Structure 1
Amino acid sequence: MKGTHSLHRALVGAFSKAATAGPSRSIARALPSTTVSRHSFSNLPNFAAPATRARIAPPARLFITSSRCSQGRYEEYTDVPEGYTKPQSSRSQRPWYKSPATLILGFIPIFTFGLGYWQIKRLKWKVSLIEELEDKLSRDPLRLPRNINMDVLPEFDFRLVLVKGTFDHSRTMFVGPRVRDGVIGYHVVVPFRRSEGGGMVLVNRGFVDEKKILGQGEGRRLKDEAIVDGQTEFVTLLPRIYPPNAFTPKNVPEKGSWFHVNPAQMAEWVSGKAGVEALGLTDKEDHYTPSAGVAESVKGMLNGKGGRESERVLPVYLEEVFDGNVGEAATKVAQGIPVGRAATIELRNQHAVYAATWFSLSACTAVMFGLLVRRGRG
C-alpha cells in the first residue's frame, strides 16, 4: 500500500512535468525510467497508461488533481483559475497623423496666417483711405450751394466748408455723453441759418463740459457767454457719418436724449419742433433733391404744422473746426464754451499690429506642429 502511494505521487509529478514540457510530449516519455516501468502500469488497479500519445493542453489551461489520477483519468480544464492573469493582446495604435491634436495643431498655423494676410490687405486699404482724406483736407474750403443735392453730398466728405449765418440756439441738441481729456461732457449740435438761404443745416459746435450745461432733459441749454449772437462766419468739416454699434442706445428726442448723430432724425425733429409747413411749396427756386437714405425724413418734414418755410432744417451735418492749441481748448472747456474738432483725420490704423500678432501666432504653432510630427514619426 505504501508502494502504491509512492507510485501515485510519482505519476502525478510525471503528469505535471509533461504538461510543462509541451503538448507534443507523451506522459510515458515524461516519466523517469528508473522510477516507473511498463510492468508498474499493469499492477495498478483502475489505472492504465494511455494507448496513444497524449496531447497535453498548454500549461495555462491544464490542471490535474490527485483525485482524478487516482481514478485513472485526467481532465483538461478550460476555465481560467482564480489569480491567473491572461496576457492581453496588443491593440494597434492610431496613426500619429490621425490624432485630433495633430489635426487641430496643423490647422491653426494655416488659419492664423490667413488672418495675418487679411490684415495686410486691410492695412493697405486704410493707408490709401487716409491719404485720400488728407488730400481732401489740404484743399481750400468750399461754400455750400443754396440748392444742395443730397445725392452728391457724400462725395465731399472730409472737405472743409465755409459757412456764414446765424445760430438758432432755441433748438439746441446735446449728443453724448462723451469724454475729452478726462472730462465728461456733450457735443452741442445747433441748427444754423445760412445767410444765402436755402434751408438751415446742423452744425456741431464742439465739446462742452456737462457741469457747464444749464437745465435738465430737453430743457438743457448753454450758458449765456457760450451763445453766439448775430451773424458769424467760420470753417467747418463735412464728416463721414458711421452707423452706431449694437451697444449704443437709441435716441429719444422727446426726452432730449441724443446718444449718436443721426442727421435725418435730428433734422426731422427740430423741423417739426419749429412747426414747418408745406416744405418746398413756397420756394420755387429751391430744387433740393434728397437721397434715398433721407427721403423718408424729408417726407416727415413736409407733414409739419405751421411755421415758415425758411425755418426748415436739412439733414446736412457739419462740425466746427477749432484751430487753437491745447491750452486754449482747456480754457474754453473750463468756461463752458464749446470746443470744435481739429482738422485732422481721426481714423484708427492698428492693422500692422494685428498682422504681426497673427503671423507670430502662426509661426509658433507651426513650430509646435513640426515637433509633434517629429515625435510621432520617431
Structure 2
Amino acid sequence: MAAAARWLGRLLRAAGAGPVPAGAVTRSVLGAPSRAGLAWTPSRRRSSAAEAAAAREDSFLQWFLLLIPVTAFGLGTWQIQRRKWKLKLIAELESRVAAEPVPLPADPMELKNLEYRPVKVRGRFDHSKELYMMPRTMVDPAREAREAGQPSVQSGAHVVTPFHCTDLGITILVNRGFVPRKRVNPEMRQKGQVEGEVDLVGMVRLTETRKPFVPENNPERNHWHYRDLEAMAKLTGAEPIFIDADFKSTVPGGPIGGQTRVTLRNEHMQYIITWYGLCAATSYLWFKKFLRRTPGT
C-alpha cells in the first residue's frame, strides 16, 4: 500500500499538481477525501475560463482595430471621387469665365445658372447711393503671385453702385472695384465718378450667406461684409442683381475693376495621400500585431 501511494504521488506531481503529502495520497488511496485533489480541479477550470475570456477579448480587439485601415482606405477612395468632381467643376468655371459676354437677362431667375458668366449692360451710375463692402484687399493676380505668403498691407473697400440699365429699364448693383481706405469717401475721388451712359462688362455674382466669424452687415453705417442682395436692393431701390465690373471699366481716379476672385480650392490630392498613407501604416501595424505573432504572444 505504501508503494502504491508513493507511485500515485509521483504521478500527480508529474501532472502538475505540485508536491502532495504522503498522508494525503494514502487517504486518497484508502478512499478518504483528498484536499489537494479538491483544490487542483477548480483552479484548472478557472484558468480555462480566463483563457477563453482573454481569447474572446483579443478577437474583438483584432477586428475592431481593423476598422481603422478599412475606414482610411474608404476615405481615400472617396477623396479620389471628390477630386474628379472638383477638377470638372474648375474646368467648367474656367470655361464660363473665358466665354464671350452675353446681354444681361431681364429675368433674375435666369441668373441662378450664370454665376461668373460675363454679361454686358449699358446705362448710368447713381453715385448718390454707393455701398461699401469692407474690409477688402485688392485682387491683383500678378502681385499675389509675386508676394505669395506675405500679408497684404493694402486694405480698403469695394464700391457697389446702383446702375440703371437703359435697355432693360431696371436698376442693378455693380461692384465698380477696389478703393484704398483713405479714398472710400467719394469726395476723395471725384474724377472717378463716371457721368453719362457707359457700356460695362461684368461677371454675374449671386447672393451670399454669412460665413462663420464674418461680422453682420451694418446698413446704418453702410458697412457690408458679405453680399446680401435682398438687403442691398431694398436699401438702394435696385433689383437683387449684382455684377462685378471687369478691369476695363477702371477710370483714372476711380475704383479699380476686375475684383472677382475666381478660385476653387483643390487640396484633394493631399487628402488622398494622407488617408492612403494612414491606411498603409495601420494595416502594417495590424498585420504585425495579429498575423505575425509568435506562438504564446
Query: 2:109: which partner in 1?
Result: 151
Task: Tell whether the 8 Å contact from 1:175 to 1:189 is kept in structure 2 after alignment.
Answer: yes
- Kindly state the Cα deviation for residue 252 of structure 1 after the two structures are TM-superposed: 2.4
Is the 1:191–1:202 Cα contact (8 Å) retained in structure 2?
A: yes
The 5 A counterparts of 1:76-91 are: 90=47, 91=50
**CA shift in 2, pair 1:203/1:222, >3 Å:** farther
Q: Paired residue for 1:232, among 187, 193, 198? A: 198
| CA separation of 1:243 and 1:104: change in aligned 2, threshold 3 A | farther
1:22-80 Cα distance to aligned partner (Å, 9 max, x none): 41337xxxxxxxxxxxxxxxxxxxxxxxxxx695965899xxxxxxxxxxxxxxxx9xx
Q: Distance in 2 between matches of 1:176 and 1:104?
A: 51
Q: CA RMSD in A?
A: 3.4
Calculate the TM-score normalised by the size of structure 1.
0.58
Larger Rg, first or second structure (1 or 2): 1
Q: 2:134 aligns with which of 161, 164, 176?
A: 176
Q: CA deviation at 1:376?
A: 5.3
> Does 2:55 align with 1:97?
no
Conservation of the 8 A alpha-carbon contact between 2:216 and 2:225: yes
1:340 to 2:257 alignment: yes
Question: What SS is found at the alignment partner of 1:200?
Answer: strand
Q: Which residue of 1 aligns with 2:10?
A: none
Q: CA 1:103 to 1:244, structure 2 compared with 1: closer, same or farther past 3 Å?
A: farther
Contact 2:129 2:236 (C-alpha < 8 Å) held by counterparts: yes
Judged with a 3 Å threshold, the aligned counterparts in structure 2 of structure 1 residues 240 and 104 are, in CA distance, closer, same or farther, namely: farther
Structure 1 position 160 matched with structure 2 position 118: yes
Tell me the alpha carbon deviations over residues 226-253 of structure 1, each in whole angstroms, 9 at most, x when there is no partner: 3223332232111344433233232221
TM-score normalized by structure 2? 0.72
- Which residue identity is paired with 2:182? K
Partner AA of 1:347 in structure 2: L
Query: For 1:107-156, what per-residue CA distance to the aligned partner results, in whole angstroms no more than 9, with x for missing partners?
Result: 111222222222222211222222222222333212225xx112222232
Alignment partner of 1:202 out of 153, 161, 173: 173
Q: CA 1:97/1:337 → structure 2, altered by over 3 Å: closer, same or farther? A: farther
> Per-residue deviation at 1:336?
7.0
Q: Which residue of 2 aligns with 1:116?
A: 76
Q: CA deviation at 1:195?
A: 2.8
Query: 5+ unaligned residues in a row in structure 2: which ranges?
Result: 1-19, 139-143, 145-151
Contact in 2 for aligned 1:188/1:206 (Cα 8 Å): yes
Deviation of 1:344 after TM superposition, in Å, equals 7.3
Structure-1 separation of matches of 2:294 and 2:235: 72
Aligned AA (2:224): W
1:350 paired residue among 267, 275, 281? 267
Q: Distance in 2 between matches of 1:140 and 1:316?
A: 20
1:250 is matched by which residue type in structure 2? Answer: E
Contact 2:174 2:243 in 1 (8 A): yes
Check conservation: 1:123, 1:351, Cα contact below 8 A: yes
Contact in 2 for aligned 1:137/1:343 (Cα 8 Å): no
Sort the Cα spacing of 1:179 and 1:377 in 2 relative to 1 into closer, same or farther, 3 A. farther
Return the offset for 1:255.
2.6
SS of equivalent residue, structure 2 residue 87: helix
Match of 2:17 in 1: none
Identity of aligned residues (%): 31
